[in-house]
Amino acid sequence: MESPSILAFGMATKGNCKRFSIFHTTTSLESPNNNNKMPEQSIEKLKSLIKDIKYCMLATTTTSKLGEKYIHSRPMNVLWKEDALAEQKLYLFSSKDSWKNKEIQGNHEINLSFSDPSNHTYVSLSCTCYIDDSNRELMKELWNPYCEIYFPKGVNDPNLCLLVCDIHHAEYWDLKQGSMMSLITSYLKAGLGIKEPISQEHEKLVL
């Protein structure tokens, strides 16, 4: 394993599946009228969804030996910093000489996905990622016991660096019926002609 502003509301219906969406009306990150900050209620919602999840999946773009580009994912230990989401950031530790770093240097656009099966919620964050290997004070602040699994030399390991993930899109799904199995059952019933509505909440925040 590798080491690890206004909202608009709408309801969409497709077959037996209802989807509730929330999205920003401002779409340009470079708009002079956009301060690039998520509304406080969006930050609090995102925090409530991911603050207790210790691992996420980091997806980067890589190239095969045949020159074909594909998505490469791996689990990463999430480094929790109380005010990070207010700054639209998340942090991960990585090794300077890792493949993921090379992939990020080739394409800074990444995805972080979070899963909480016990609450049947799923989160996807689209981010721009850059590598910081000099901010040792921040590394010390973010260090936790889980990090020693991947970096036994500790926070002063010269190969240690930070992946700074700037969040620009956030999206989550909440299966209101209580479980993925109930969702599958509803689809099976639909195939037999039994109509049963599927209740799920889907919110999208685009900065």
Q: Which residues pair with 76 in a beta bridge?
A: 56
Task: Please identify every stretch of the chain with a pLDDT value under 70, giving residue numbers as ranges.
Answer: 1-37, 176-207
Structural domains of the chain, ranges and CATH numbers in brackets? 7-206 (2.30.110.10)
Give the pLDDT of residue 205: 54
In angstroms, the CA 23 to CA 157 distance is: 41
Region of 185 (left: φ > 0; alpha: ψ -120 to 50; beta: rest) is alpha
Q: Locate 43 and state its tokens.
A: 């930050």
Neighbours of 83 (CB within 10 A): 8
- In terms of pTM, does the model score above 0.85? no
pLDDT at 118: 86
Output the six-digit token pair for 106. 């080739």
Task: State how far the Cα of 162 lies from the Cα of 122, in Å rounded to an integer.
Answer: 25
Report the alpha-carbon distance of residue 63 to residue 69 in Å, rounded.
4
User: What local confidence, expressed as pLDDT, does residue 38 receive?
Assistant: 72
Q: What are the b/e assignments for 159-187, b being 16+ CB within 10 Å?
A: ebbbbbbbbbebbbebbebeeeeebeebe
Take residue 159 and report the two structure tokens written for it. 């190969």
Residue 109, Cβ neighbours under 10 Å: how many?
13
Query: Residues 129-187: pLDDT tens digits?
Result: 999 999 999 999 999 988 999 999 999 999 999 999 999 999 998 876 554 444 455 55
52 φψ region: left (φ > 0), alpha (ψ -120 to 50), beta (else): alpha
The CA distance from 85 to 176, in Å, is 25
- pLDDT confidence of residue 187: 53
